Amino acid sequence: MKKGRPYARKRFGQHFLKDSNIVQRIVRSAELRECDHIVEIGPGRGALTTRLLDTGANLTVIEIDRDLANDLTKQYDKHDRFSLLNADVLKIDWSEFCSTDLKTKLVANLPYNISTPILFKLIANRHLFSVAIIMVQKEVAKRICHKGDTGNRKDYGVLSVIADSVFETELLFNVPPGSFVPAPKVDSSVIRLVPKNNMINDEQIFFDFVRRAFNQRRKLLVNHLRKNEEAIFQRLSEGDLSFLEGTRPDNLTPHQYLSLFYHHEIQ
């Protein structure tokens, strides 16, 4: 790859990793074996790509930038374990490049401008993955990995509840702006997401229920339920009602949101 390529395209959220220690830590976090299939979203100039291929695993990369995709093809085409899709990751069908027999590992330094839509696409396709090791803005990482019981309330919200309902989440380590060219304005963090085995019925309806609750963040949750979630409110037991007394949307853990939605006693 031409190291001196003069541009970074802002519209594609391009911040290229230059710190080889960070690259190694990300790759190590994925605990890769030769039999693994890895997907990398946004390989860019190949900082992670080369190390991922060094593990002996099979790698599929998806890059939207045509110039970078051409450079990557030239650099890695001789590897028979490498394949590249020059495409927008939000527009393609992920089941076409993931096997259903062998679960895929996702490893990526995500374009920050679209990290939330990518996260939701990962949620919808999580049955295809055994683990995701992804870098996102630190602020987003804190929200995704917040468990709702301890920590700063301001980081707890819709993303925390939704992510915890479908993944085991863990913030692995932080990465300073100086680890990238060009340097972003914010800190970054690498997180690990492992899909839970649970099935969530009416998943999208549950997600919308959580979104509505957090839209009323300052209100008492019970008042919001009474006014806007009649079916759920009607089924609350005496115990639930006394539990919810004085509770605001950000006082309920993800597990308690699931209980509330699926009509289990809240504890």
> Given the rule CB under 6 A, which residues bind ligand SAM?
12-17, 41-45, 47-48, 62-65, 68, 88-90, 109, 111, 114
Residue 180: enclosing H or E segment and its boundaries?
strand 180-181
Smallest distance, ligand SAM to C-beta of residue 39, A: 11
Asked if residue 192 lies in contact with residue 172, where contact means CB atoms within 8 angstroms, the answer is yes
* Cβ-based nearer residue to ligand SAM, 113 or 234: 113
* Cβ-based nearer residue to ligand SAM, 113 or 237: 113
Smallest distance, ligand SAM to C-beta of residue 20, A: 11
* Cβ-based nearer residue to ligand SAM, 42 or 195: 42
Tokens 């304005």 — which residue? 185
Gap between the Cα atoms of 127 and 83, Å rounded? 22
Burial 249-264 (b: 16+ CB within 10 A, else e): bbebbbbbbbbbbeee
Select from 155, 266, 180, 190 the least CA-distant residue to 221: 266
Smallest distance, ligand SAM to C-beta of residue 194, A: 21
CA-to-CA dists, residue 110 to 42, 99, 246, angstroms: 7, 22, 39
Smallest distance, ligand SAM to C-beta of residue 62, A: 5
* Cβ-based nearer residue to ligand SAM, 108 or 161: 108
* Cβ-based nearer residue to ligand SAM, 47 or 244: 47
- Name the residue number minimizing CB distance to ligand SAM: 42
